[in-house]
Amino acid sequence: MRDGYPRTGADVVREVLAALAPAELPFLESVLEAYRIDPWTLDGRRAGVPVDQVSAWSAFVLGFVAETVVATEPAAQGRGRLRTMLTRRRRSRTGELANVPDAPVPAFEAEQLRLAWSSAVDAATCRGHPPRDREAFAAAVVAALAAGHPPRQRHPAED
């Protein structure tokens, strides 16, 4: 949480990259900006991916978070959110994806974490990653989502 606001899609991407590919963190802001201008999906549409990031983890992680983690429907909480995660990769919602880096990401429950693991392995498999990288990606995603939101810090003015 930053300044009282919940974690965002960009925060989740940062956490995953910190565990998976920390060398890409300095370039993440340019990838996020490119995404806001022209979002991409994991199903092969790479129009907005910066040329120097096409094979980078950052573009892949951001696409994954957009399509499978960030719920764009207000009602997509709890069990409805699981359904959203299951169907997200089957639909192209590019128009709604531009706000993903700034969208809040609520804490995940155990069942949602199992689904996120499975989705992460599937996405990494489709991208052609070897088994070791698939497992590392899934573990980084689940660790970032399991962290939940830190408790809200109280400010003296609130007492």
Number of neighbouring beta carbons within 10 Å of residue 119: 20
What is the token pair recorded at 102?
């700034």
Kindly give, in sequence order, each residue whose CB lies less than 8 Å from that of residue 86, ignoring residues fewer than 6 positions away: 115
Least confident residue range of 18-22, 74-78, 142-146: 74-78
Write the pLDDT tens digit of every residue in 84-130. 554 444 344 445 677 888 888 887 888 989 999 999 999 999 888 89
Cα-Cα-Cα-Cα torsion 89, 134, 46, 59, nearest 10 degrees, comes to 110
- Quote the pTM value: 0.74
SS3 state at 5: strand
Q: What is the pLDDT of residue 24?
A: 92
Residue with the two structure tokens 């892949």: 60
The alpha carbon dihedral of 86, 87, 91, 92 has a sign of: negative
Average pLDDT of the segment spanning 25-37: 89
Residues 6+ apart with CB under 8 A from 90: none
Length of the chain: 159
Question: Could you give the CA distance from residue 78 to residue 109 in angstroms, rounded to a whole number?
Answer: 8
CB-CB contact of 26 with 58 (8 Å)? no
Each domain of the chain, given as residue ranges in start order, spans 9-106
Query: Which pLDDT belongs to residue 15?
Result: 94
